[in-house]
Structure 1
């Protein structure tokens, strides 16, 4: 933001035009709303010591399925058409989450293998639904999902609602504690009476739901569904947001609020690179660099080496064990 300020003096200003809020900060929130949804779902999965690489494909499946329904409806502008399309998209996301959860929690397949399979096959499923073409819809009711509700973009309100509900469910109930217990040590949690399989299933199903909601936002905002590019690299953005937010990839404690801040950092980074005239194809290079830095900062061995380089600061070396005669 500070980098953008000299080139754009009104960067922090928010105005009202035609009854809608507008400005650079509003644009960042609109851009990051789908990523926040994906990041929130991934936070719970990663907290269980898992991973979901299929969120981008689920975004494409849900959005394409919803748009396919709208196009083939007798009245595209009917409110029931938009509601049915949203229901179909969310149901597709729940089914994908249940698929991942079944293989990871029930069958014991490694999370990266199970979700990588859906990452590849799911993109093909989305292309089959759209028949390999970009689906364009002309529905005013469906456009409301990713449009404006009063002065605020609907995407911001939907993302905020999901974040608040997730925080309430994980901090005001035992769900959050159970997720952290499973992520810390699944076997110990099971022996303590925690249904680890059910907790993991719940996390993956919720992640699929969040990815589907992101797909609905993206397609309704553009009134089209591109199975090839919708949700592309969202697994990278989601995981990066989770890690930036302070959740360890090893599982255990998680931070929903931190994930939201991480997604906003990514959105601000993309906005800054665009303002500086950096080609869009180079964004992934910078984002990859951020991933490397974050991973290094999260490495205990790296932090130990950095602390030892500071003058006058040496970490104590544990004494060698002694053998008594």
Structure 2
């Protein structure tokens, strides 16, 4: 396919990657239409939260994980379970507590009678064996359990008693945190935060949305949602996302934006130096590009555009910046700092 056909919704740019085939172009068109169907279907039970739904879809089709941040009662569990329902995926929820052990999420060998009078160990699968796993209040878990979840997230497999088990594709972890000022919760280590592609922050609904929520949830049973996709469809679209072309200048813009978050190295603006003690690492550049590819495909575009990178920059970068005491004293959050960087980018 010629470059002129590929560059819909995008200014002319140099692309060194192969353009999409005719079949891929048709697949992108189908995915764009399907994305709108998914939004409409979820809106039957989820009031508002359009941006949250879009970011969850971006992470899913980018084969990445997401961190949901919000106070209790914002329908995080309902949203994730209904997302799995519309995609015909297996969903499990794990409530993290201080006494949760690795075997409680991975499973373990149990001694069972095989029917002929003999006993043997058989592996009982834990709740991590699902397509979408909601790790509720993950910041309450002990280090051993965190390590087991990290292996599952990174490798898409777990190890129990020296034996490895593959997790079913597609696999996505959505972890929730209550705000750190809530009693009994603690912030996740920076190394673990970096494993999540995006921090998706949920805020209180508007008055109109809150009234609509009350109408929807205090009547009869919630409607069953239509199954719009299958696991095989999702995997095929995840592969399609990887083939979305990226202009050379987009790679440069993503790398330069991430480098501006680092106070060391002379790449950050002067105003940022007293506000940030540690910036985003190379994985942030990867996630910016993958997130932009996923968003472009979901929007029905055949090429990554600057607006795709800007749309995912806030959730990709915010949780990767460690602010200083000076920033806290000035009331500057990591979100504010990323917003200012994007504003300067124009």
- Whose RCO is larger (CA < 8 A, sep 6+)? 1
More strand by share: 2
Q: Which has the higher helix share?
A: 1
Q: TM-score range by the shorter chain?
A: under 0.3
